[in-house]
C-alpha cells in the first residue's frame, strides 16, 4: 500500500487539544511507527515541502520539516520540461532546467475545475501520478467532505482517508505486513 501524506497530515500540524484532533494525532503516531518499521510506506512530495516552508512560525516550521524528513519521497516528484540555455559573446553560457511542480498539468486543472484549490489539486495530482493507493489527509473542510466522493469515483485506484480511517482499515485487514507498502 502506497500512502501519500499531504501537509495537513504531518504530525506537528495535529497540535490542537480537542478530542477529534487528538484521535487523529494518535492514529498518525501509530501510522508513523508502522512507517518506521517498514510495515507501511508514507510518501511526501516537494509540494508538501514548499507548503510547509510558507509556515510563518519558525518553531512550527522546523517541526514540520523534521516530520517531512521522516517520510519517503515519491518516485516522480517534479517533471523536467527542458532546459533554458543562454550564451554570451565570449563563449560563456548558463544552462537552467525548466521544471514543472506536478507530473500532469492537465490532471491538476481537471481537479481544480472540480473545485479543489491549486495546492490541494497539486497534492492529489502527485499522489495519483505516483500510483498511490491512499491520500492521507485531515482536511475535512476542503477535501474530504466536499470532494472525496467524486475524486474516488473519477480515480478509483486512490482512496482519500483520515489517519483514523486508514488505521482502522489496516487493523481490519489482519495486522499490517510487508504487503502494505
Q: Which of 29, 37, 39 is nearest to 3 (CA)?
A: 39
Would you say 167 and 31 are in contact if contact means Cβ atoms under 8 Å apart?
yes
* Predicted pLDDT at 173: 67
Bridge partner list, 83: 97
Phi, psi of 176 (to 5 degrees): -55, 140
* Predicted pLDDT at 59: 97
Strands 134-136 and 159-161: parallel
pTM of the entire predicted model: 0.87
Whether 178 has a pLDDT exceeding 50, the answer reads no
Write out pLDDT tens, residues 125-142. 999 999 999 999 999 999
- For the chain, domains (ranges, CATH) are 2-75+104-180 (3.40.50.1010)
Whether 167 has a pLDDT exceeding 90, the answer reads yes
* Predicted pLDDT at 83: 87
Write out pLDDT tens, residues 59-83. 999 999 999 999 999 999 988 878 8
Q: Which three cell numbers stand for residue 53?
A: 516552508
Q: What is the mean pLDDT of residues 41-47?
A: 97
Q: Which of 72, 4, 64, 74 is nearest to 38 (CA)?
A: 72
* Predicted pLDDT at 80: 80
Q: Which three cell numbers stand for residue 80?
A: 523536467
Whether 171 has a pLDDT exceeding 70, the answer reads yes
Strands 79-87 and 72-73: unpaired
* Predicted pLDDT at 101: 78
C-alpha distances out from residue 170 to 8, 27, 34, Å:
21, 11, 10
Amino acid at each position: 500500500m502506497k500512502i501519500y501524506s499531504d501537509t495537513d497530515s504531518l504530525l506537528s500540524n495535529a497540535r490542537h487539544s480537542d478530542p477529534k484532533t487528538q484521535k487523529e494525532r494518535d492514529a498518525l503516531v501509530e501510522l508513523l511507527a508502522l512507517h518506521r518499521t517498514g510495515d507501511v510506506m508514507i510518501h511526501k512530495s516537494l509540494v508538501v515541502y514548499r507548503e510547509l516552508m510558507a509556515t510563518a512560525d519558525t518553531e512550527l516550521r522546523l517541526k514540520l520539516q523534521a516530520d517531512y524528513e521522516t517520510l519517503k519521497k515519491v518516485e516522480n516528484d517534479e517533471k523536467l520540461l527542458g532546459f533554458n540555455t543562454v550564451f554570451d559573446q565570449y563563449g560563456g553560457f548558463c544552462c537552467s532546467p525548466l521544471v514543472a511542480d506536478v507530473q500532469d498539468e492537465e490532471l491538476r486543472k481537471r481537479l481544480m475545475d472540480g473545485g479543489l484549490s491549486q495546492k490541494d489539486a497539486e497534492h492529489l495530482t502527485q499522489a495519483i501520478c505516483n500510483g498511490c493507493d491512499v491520500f492521507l489527509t485531515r482536511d475535512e473542510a476542503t477535501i474530504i467532505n466536499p470532494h472525496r466522493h467524486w475524486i474516488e469515483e473519477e480515480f478509483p485506484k486512490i482512496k482519500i482517508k483520515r489517519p483514523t480511517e486508514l488505521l482502522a482499515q489496516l487493523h481490519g485487514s489482519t495486522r499490517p505486513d510487508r504487503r502494505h507498502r
